[in-house]
A and B are shown apart, each in its own frame.
Chain A
Amino acid sequence: MATIQFRDIRKSFGDTDVLKGVGLDVADGEFLSLVGPSGCGKSTLLRILAGLESQTSGSVMIGGKPVDGLHAADRDLAMVFQSYALYPHLTVAENIAVPLTMRRLSRAQRLPLVGRLLPGCKATRTEIGTTVREAAEMLDIAHLLDRKPGQLSGGQRQRVAVGRALVREPSAFLLDEPLSNLDAKMRVHMRAEIAQLNRSLGATFVYVTHDQAEAMTMSDRIAVMMEGELLQVGTPDALYDHPQDIRVAQFIGSPAINILPVDTDASGAIHMCDMATGLRAGGTPIEHLGVRPEALIPCDEDGFVVGRVRLIENLGSDLFVQLDAAGVPLPVTVRLPSEARGRVKLRDVMQLTADPARICGFDVAGKAAPVVAIEKVASHV
């Protein structure tokens, strides 16, 4: 159980800056996801926390104490790797036992053959065996304890890797894309299990993934990273509803948010393709509007997006309709309830509007800027 703090972490490999000053606090027992496209530095940040890589500058604290000079083994962290990294020559039981034997047995007691004759060794080994069995039962892999990793399926290997991490009750768990080698069904299943594990153990989890769906479903908070910088840290809701950066808005959510290029005139009114949107900038001029597919509502008149239907995706529960809208480079996606099935046809022209509270505005630098509705009264004057 521990808090984790990153203070202005920088990391360069030669001339490339991989991390450009990352500061982040993780609360005790929190499930924090580091999410971002590949190459954004999230794995490097995790490896710096683990002690497998050293930062160029900055400081890492675990439980309030700086750990910068400390070896990976002395940081009391456990890590689950993308490739599981199980020892191929050891059985499942031996794999899970490794962190315990390395810590609880002395160097002499670990020696092959001779070690077993030393006093106290047998008792400790029995104790380790019990702990391993408990961990295996918790993860439902007790029947696999005598197998070698080569004889296990991907999902089973994943559980063994998790077992090896949790067996010694570390202060925090680091997970580096642990689900990306699993098939889709298994991934959804393990997602729930890992989130459940976080709640039952009460330990701090730092979870690295490039899959925003994993981050959204499992985390207490998400930290979005891009190009070595932390763009936004917040709860899944906050990130989804109020992205601080246009890149965060585009990264979070599936299907992706609709980004509409707009102009802001001198009075602050926002126009799209010279059409009034009924919105004005609350502060800095707006360059883009972001609207989630489910925030768009079909209407008969005064819609600020007009487009022709180019594709209808029927998911059963929902209907995703893609429109070619004037002035928008990418197709606009609208989510409609399943009742709309059959009512929308290809090449229909649709008008769309949205609740101003659910529209995100972004300025020229891509940062979030307030958007407010123009009062109806004002527009008649």
Chain B
Amino acid sequence: MTYRFSTRQTLAHVVLILGAVIVLLPFYVMISTSLKSPAEIATGTGGVFGSQALFADQTCLTLGGSKADCLVRPVLDNYTKAFTEAPMWRYLLNGVIVTLSIFALQTLVAVPAAYALAKLRFWGRDAAFALVLFCLLIPVHAIALPLYLMLAKLGLTNSYAALILPWTVSAFGIFLMRQFFMTVPDDLIDAARMDGMGEFAIIWRVMLPTAIPALLAFAIFSVVAHWNDYFWPRIVITGDRSLFTPPLGLREFKGDLGGDFYGPMMASATIIAVPLVVAFLLAQRRFIDGITLSGMK
């Protein structure tokens, strides 16, 4: 097989590579910084991995340790600090609790709603679906204040409920699942009715299992958005550090008067990003060999 030079293809790939570099650059900075000593970070030296030379930890010296006692390896120091200076495990656990609860509740609401909008005939169905589409246009930030006030009136701020409840109804989830359910043949639902299933049995026993690929796509959007969300937790979690989600945990290293802690901060950021990358890689495989509707045609 011979390859011919194509200006068009080359140009397309140059643009794609540039795009990839722009997207990946912040990750490179994050990982690289998490490996370096404070001096290397401040001067911008040390290449990708840093020289990994031992250095005396500033806090340790301030507390009166001798220079020999306080010598540490930059990479170990950054990642140890990420866990010791802040309750990182607790933050990660909070992140898991919040994102999974949100996703479970969103599924609980979106799947039946989408089924009704896609497959049941009732008065006002099209109007209801139009409202769902309309909800997609409302930015979160526009309703943040009223939402906060409502939660505050209910006395729910500084609780898991404050982090989870506002997100249980996802217009995007309803929309996505409805579009998928539209492609499920009516015969399948009629067959389920003949087999003795009620409407809810149809939703959970037939529609949900056939919709796994669509649900996974939605899961990625939902989990990524809420795992990374800084805005909403920052508003409703004001005091209690044990309720912090991972992004809030990053603030522990923002320094203020005590100097800068970019190394540990970037180490935390890396730790926070890893679960998502792993989850995505696992879900990606399920996407491809997931259950398809091919058995019905």
Contact = CB atoms under 8 A, between A and B. Distances in A.
A84 B192 CA distance: 12
A149 B195 contact: no
A164 B195 contact: yes
Contacts of B187: 81-83, 85
B209 A89 contact: yes
B297 interface: yes
Interface in B175-232: 185, 187-188, 190-198, 201, 206, 209-210, 212
Contact of B201 (A77, A84, A99, A102): A102
A79 interface: yes
Contacts of A139: none
A52 B291 contact: no
A32 to B, nearest CB: 19
Nearest to B209: A89
Contacts of B297: 83
Given A82-B187, A83-B187, A85-B188, A73 B294 contact: no
Interface residues of B, number: 24
Contacts of A102: 195-197, 201
Interface string A60-81: 0000000000011100011101
B291 A89 contact: yes
Contacts of A51: 193
Contacts of B196: 73, 99, 102-103
Contacts of B197: 73, 98, 102
A240 interface: no
Nearest to B184: A88
Nearest to A81: B187
A189 B159 CA distance: 66
A164 B198 CA distance: 18
A264 B82 CA distance: 104
A86 interface: yes
Main secondary structure of the interface of B (DSSP, over half): helix
A72 B194 contact: yes
A78 to B, nearest CB: 6
B193 A88 contact: no
B195 A83 contact: no
Contacts of A82: 187
A202 to B, nearest CB: 21
Nearest to A157: B295
Interface residues of A, number: 30
B20 interface: no
A87 interface: yes
A292 B185 CA distance: 41
B293 A77 contact: no
B292 interface: yes
B220 to A, nearest CB: 21
A90 B191 CA distance: 14
Nearest to A154: B297
A85 B196 CA distance: 15
A43 to B, nearest CB: 11
B296 interface: yes
Contacts of B191: 79, 81, 85-87, 164
Contact of B185 (A83, A98, A103): A83
A242 interface: no
Task: Count chain B CB atoms within 10 A of each CB in A71, A89, A150, A164 and give the residue with the most.
Answer: A89
B209 A81 contact: no
A34 interface: no
A87 B185 contact: no
Nearest to B294: A150
Contact of A73 (B195, B210, B292, B293): B195
Task: Count chain B CB atoms within 10 A of each CB in A83, A88, A157, A164 and give the residue with the most.
Answer: A88
Given A84-B296, A89-B210, A50 B194 contact: yes
A310 interface: no
Given A82-B187, A85-B190, A98 B295 contact: no
A82 B296 CA distance: 10
Given A102-B201, A149-B295, A149-B296, A87 B194 contact: no
A78 B296 contact: no
Nearest to B212: A89
Interface string A144-164: 000011101000010000001
14 contacts: A50-B190, A51-B193, A52-B193, A72-B190, A72-B194, A73-B197, A79-B190, A81-B190, A83-B296, A85-B296, A88-B210, A89-B210, A90-B209, A99-B195
Q: 3 shortest A-B CB distances, which residue pairs?
A: A149-B295, A88-B295, A102-B196
Given A90-B209, A157-B295, 7 more contacts: A51-B193, A72-B190, A77-B194, A85-B188, A87-B188, A88-B291, A99-B196
